């Protein structure tokens, strides 16, 4: 059990980094990753491209750009 602690700590650290990203982008990335494993590459790309266009029009996308330009941490709302 003690030998698993470093792996668990690393997994929690990765999960925390992911959780600080825009929720819609994280959700879409997970969906695309799952699809990429189950489906042919072309199908996964065909699924992902419209989703990326949708994401670029979200308030969270604008927040990402604004926060970068303003040199502050982003506040994502899942919108």
Q: pLDDT digits over 15-33, tens only?
A: 999 999 999 999 998 888 8
Structure tokens at 17: 């980094």
Position 44 scores a pLDDT of 84
Q: What is the pLDDT of residues 50-77, one digit of tens each?
A: 999 999 999 999 999 999 999 999 999 9
Alpha-carbon Rg for the chain in angstroms: 16
CA distance 51 to 57: 10
The whole-number pLDDT of residue 6 equals 83
In sequence order, the 6+-apart residues with CB closer than 8 A to the CB of 47 are 31, 32, 35, 39
Structural domains in the chain, CATH included, are: 22-79 (1.10.12.10)
34-47 pLDDT tens trace: 888 888 888 888 88
And the tokens for 63? 């927040």
Distance CA 63, CA 18 (A): 17
């Amino acid at each position: 059990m003690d030998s698993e602690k470093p792996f668990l700590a690393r997994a929690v650290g990765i999960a925390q980094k992911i959780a600080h990203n825009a929720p819609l982008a994280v959700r879409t990335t997970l969906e695309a990753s799952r699809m990429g494993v189950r489906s042919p590459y072309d199908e996964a790309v065909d699924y992902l491209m419209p989703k990326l266009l949708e994401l670029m029009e979200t308030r969270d996308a604008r927040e990402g750009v604004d926060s970068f330009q303003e040199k502050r941490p982003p506040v994502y709302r899942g919108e």
